[in-house]
Structures are given as structure tokens and as C-alpha cells.
Amino acid sequence: MATESLGPDPDGGLGRRARTLCLLGLMVALLGLATLLAPALAVEAAYLPGLSLPWWAMVLGFAASEAFVLHIQRRREAQTISFSEIPLVVGMFLATPLAVVIGRTVASVVAMLWYRRTPPMKLAFNVALLTGETTLALAVFHAVAPDSGPAGPATWLAAYAGALAADVLAAAAISAVIAAHDGGVDVRSLLSDAGSLVVPLIGTTLGLMAVLTLSASATAGWLLAACGMLCLLAFRSYAALATRHLNLERL
């Protein structure tokens, strides 16, 4: 009779049941963090007065960031880059925390079910991770930002702090899953992931530019959308060119 081992498997990782338990434990921890931070965020209004984006607008923003991702080949590894920090930062300033969490969760679930066909266990983990990191980002932002005032250097710093906290949490959770699967921590991979934090910084900066533009004129959103599409086309052209160069090197 075949049994599932709770100890390391032949490839050096944990057994399937142990990996499942680790995954469930991480999901509980992430949802517990979100539950702990949620009461303080539930009473928060949009940081900037005047323009308040509804939850469905956040769904559209996060859905766009999930649908239009970049696939870049780095040596032998394929990386998927998503600028989800842009709608996240916009939501920090122009939507309630509840609208941001609902918008990101709904958009991610729809994208994973309809577009990526994500398996149930992976879907559950990703939802828990997104809920935890989004709640943490909003909590850090509202804790660091001044109580009121226009979007200035102090609030920019708060946005960077919130986005960075979310990315560190996501990197730690994913590294824990990989460690449970492989039976150890790959220090080289961790250092490589740390170097990729420049992408969230770019996304946060673009999000702040969007906030400043929208707070000055709501109709400027059309210009932002056009600029975003042009940047996306440029990034995709670069990614395709890099892939062709890599294929030529393999010949």
C-alpha cells in the first residue's frame, strides 16, 4: 500500500502531506495578519478628499495589471513581471482600504480562474497572500503617512514603505513555500529576488505619478491610460527582443 511520507522526499524536499500542512499554515498566518489589521483599516476613508474611487474601479485597475504582464527570460529562468503596485498606490490615496482589498481580491480571483486556470490549492494560497500583503501595505501606509494634507514627500515615503512591506512579505511567503518543497533555502535565489525589488519601486513611482495627475485633474486619467499602454508596448517589445537574443545564443 502506497503511503505519503511526512519526512523529506527523495528529491530532498518534504513529503506531499508535510508540504500541504506548511502551505495551510502559511495561509492561516497570512489571513490572520489580515484579520488583525482589518479593524483599524475598516474605519479609514480615502486619504485624499474629493476623488474617491469605488471598489469596481479598483477591480478594473488590478485586472489590467494582472492581464498585461511581462514575461522576461533571464538566463535559464522565466520571470513574470506585474505592475500591481500602480493600482495599489492609487488606491492608497484615492480609495478606501476596503475598496482596495476587495478590488484586488476580486480581480486576482477572476484572472486566476478565467485566464490562468490556477489549481484550487494554489488559488487559495495566492488569495491569502494577496489579502495579507495588500492589508499590510495599507496599514503601513496609513501608519507612516501624516494624518491629513496633500500628497507630498511624507506621503510618498509612506507609499514606498507600504509597497516595500508588501513585497517583502510576498517574497518571504513564497520563499517559505519553495523551501518546503526543496527541503532548504537557496541563498543565491534569495539574493536574486532581493535584486528584483527595483521593479516594485518603479511601479510605486508610476503609481505616485498617477496619483498626482488624477488629484490635479480627473480627466487626465485618459492621458495616464494612453501613457500606460505605450509603456506596456515598449516593455513587451524589449522582452520579445531579449527572448530572441537568448534563443540565438542557444543555437
Q: Which pLDDT score, from 0 to 100, does residue 6 have?
A: 36
At 191-204, the pLDDT tens digits run 555 556 677 888 89
* Residue 70 backbone phi and psi in degrees, to 5: -110, 135
Confidence of residue 1 (pLDDT cuts 50, 70, 90): very low
For the chain, list the domains and their CATH numbers: 36-250 (1.10.1760.20)
Give residue 83's pLDDT.
Answer: 81
At 190, is the pLDDT very low, low, confident or very high (cuts 50, 70, 90)?
A: low
Mean pLDDT across the chain:
80
The C-alpha cell 491610460 sits at 225
Residue 33 has pLDDT above 90, yes or no: yes
Taking residues 129-148, report their average pLDDT: 94
Cα gap 125→184, rounded to integer Å: 20
Three-state helix/strand/coil letters over 85-103: HHHHHHHHHHCCHHHHHHH
Cβ 133 vs Cβ 127: under 8 Å: no
Structure confidence at residue 235 (pLDDT)? 66
Greater pLDDT, 37 or 240: 37
- Residue 116 to residues 27, 88, 106, 113, 247: CA-CA distances in angstroms? 21, 21, 14, 6, 25
Cβ atoms 14, 115 nearer than 8 A: no
**How much is the pLDDT for 134?**
96
What's the grid cell of residue 214? Answer: 488624477
Which pLDDT tens digit goes with each residue over 60-110?
999 888 877 766 555 444 556 678 899 999 999 999 999 999 999 999 999
Residue with cell 536574486: 192
